């Protein structure tokens, strides 16, 4: 949607360090009609059918408009008080941010694929730390724990840790596992979800669980073979589709039902191949997380311009819900995108 200046300022406070992630950072987090939490993409340049304008009756409020008419009232979710904290020289929001009732941070805020010029077309994981301290690119367990010590952790349902891939057998798990281990030792009640590529050595999945990971998200992104080769070139090379399927099988055994999920970027492929992917993963006990692809207009030459029709998106979500119901799949995730539920609607149809 297109925000006016007041709405844009309310949303800016939600992401003061301007961290960039796929769905996590590019939107405005709001409560619609007093009960539905969403993270809606907003654009200053690209024209959309919806706009968000200041609600004259509420300082935190916005009106969602279409064709000059207000569709519904919403409230921008206020930035938590701890957003003003610092951890050493860093703003705390460079380390962790809040997403609804979840916390999220990137352990390895880069990816080996950028150096190889084979990164996924839509990926922005390395953008917010360019030119910044290496300590932010590779966050240690100590830094994460110091950040958590300044947050009322008990107010949050879970913590999501992610990171780009490496070319090691853990494909990045080897960087995240030690952080999970220390965080879960200090905060044993905190559910930790990890979002990462599937490892070449499947034993890393067991190691992640041993470290204290509660759930695992390994993102297929797109199902069609030809599109995978173009859209996620390096990932497709180092983590081919078969490696995902093998990792899903192992992860299902290790974490149990409803604890393994995979994101599909809606807008990368025709609906029919997307549906095939969704059916396949549901058949393996994996929760699909279809997310509408987002566009980063402030990034020069951003190569991915998804056009997601909302009717197609609803069709995909309804299909996923029907398939999950048919096979009795439910999500048990307490952390991660599925649990957060602001970009991701799947919890509403498979809970």
The piece of 37-45, 73-81, 111-119, 206-214 that touches ligand SF4 (CB under 6 A) is 111-119
Residue 111 binds ligand SF4, judged by CB under 6 A: yes
235 touches ligand SF4 (CB under 6 A): yes
Binding mask 122-151 for ligand SF4 (x = CB under 6 A): -x-x--------------------------
Q: Helix H segments across the chain? A: 5-12, 112-115, 134-137, 141-148, 173-186, 203-211, 225-231, 233-238, 241-255, 271-283, 310-327, 337-340, 346-350
C-alpha–C-alpha distance, residues 75 and 121, integer Å: 33
User: Would you tell me the crossing angle of helices 310-327 and 271-283 to the nearest 10 degrees?
Assistant: 20
Binding mask 315-334 for ligand SF4 (x = CB under 6 A): --------------------
- As a 3-state breakdown, the chain gives helix, strand, coil percent values, each rounded to 5, of 35, 20, 45
CA distance 65 to 162: 35
In angstroms, what is the minimal distance from the CB of 13 to ligand SF4? 27
Write the interaction track for ligand SF4 spanning residues 64-103; mark x where CB under 6 A is met and - where it is not: ----------------------------------------
- Site map 266..305 versus ligand SF4, x via CB under 6 A: ----------------------------------------
Decide: is 120 part of the binding site for ligand SF4 (CB under 6 A).
yes
Q: What are phi and psi of 145, to 5 degrees?
A: -65, -40
* Least distance between ligand SF4 and beta carbon 39 (Å): 18
Closer of 74 and 232 to ligand SF4 (Cβ): 232
How far is the C-alpha of 36 from the C-alpha of 31, rounded, in Å? 5
- Pick the closer one to ligand SF4 by CB: 323 or 344: 344
Contact 227, 269 (CB under 8 A): yes
Taking alpha carbons only, the member of 27, 37, 31 closest to residue 62 is 31
Q: Is 197 near ligand SF4 (CB under 6 A)?
A: yes
Q: Which residues of this chain interact with ligand SF4, rule CB under 6 A?
A: 111, 113, 119-120, 123, 125, 164-165, 197, 232, 235
């Amino acid at each position: 949607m297109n925000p006016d200046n007041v709405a844009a300022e309310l949303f800016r406070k939600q992401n003061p360090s301007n961290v960039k992630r796929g769905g996590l950072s590019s939107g405005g987090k709001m409560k619609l009609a007093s009960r539905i939490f969403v993270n809606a993409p907003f654009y200053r340049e690209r024209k959309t059918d919806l706009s968000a304008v200041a609600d004259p009756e509420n300082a935190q409020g916005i009106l969602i408009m279409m064709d000059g008419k207000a569709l519904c009232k919403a409230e921008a979710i206020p930035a938590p008080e701890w957003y003003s904290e610092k951890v050493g020289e860093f703003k705390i929001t460079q380390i962790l941010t809040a997403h609804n009732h979840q916390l999220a941070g990137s352990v390895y805020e880069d990816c080996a694929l950028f150096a190889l010029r084979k990164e996924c077309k839509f990926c922005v994981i390395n953008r917010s730390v360019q030119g910044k301290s290496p300590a932010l690119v590779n966050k240690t367990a100590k830094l994460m724990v110091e950040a958590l010590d300044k947050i009322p952790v008990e107010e949050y349902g879970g913590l999501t840790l992610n990171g780009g891939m490496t070319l090691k057998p853990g494909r990045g798990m080897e960087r995240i596992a030690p952080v999970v281990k220390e965080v879960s030792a200090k905060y044993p009640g905190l559910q930790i979800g990890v979002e990462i590529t599937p490892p070449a050595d499947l034993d890393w999945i067991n190691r992640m669980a041993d470290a204290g990971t509660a759930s695992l998200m390994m993102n297929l992104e797109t199902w069609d073979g030809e599109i995978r080769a173009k859209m996620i070139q390096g990932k497709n090379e180092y983590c081919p589709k078969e490696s995902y399927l093998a990792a899903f099988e192992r992860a299902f055994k290790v974490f149990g039902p409803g604890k393994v999920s995979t994101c599909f970027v809606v807008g990368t492929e025709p609906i029919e191949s997307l549906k095939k992917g969704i059916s396949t993963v549901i058949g393996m006990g994996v929760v699909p997380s279809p997310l509408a692809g987002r566009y980063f207009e402030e990034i020069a030459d951003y190569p991915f311009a998804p056009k997601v029709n909302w009717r197609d998106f609803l069709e995909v979500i309804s299909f996923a819900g029907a398939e999950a119901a048919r096979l009795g799949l439910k999500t048990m995730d307490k952390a991660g995108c599925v649990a957060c539920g602001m970009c991701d609607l799947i919890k509403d149809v498979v809970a």
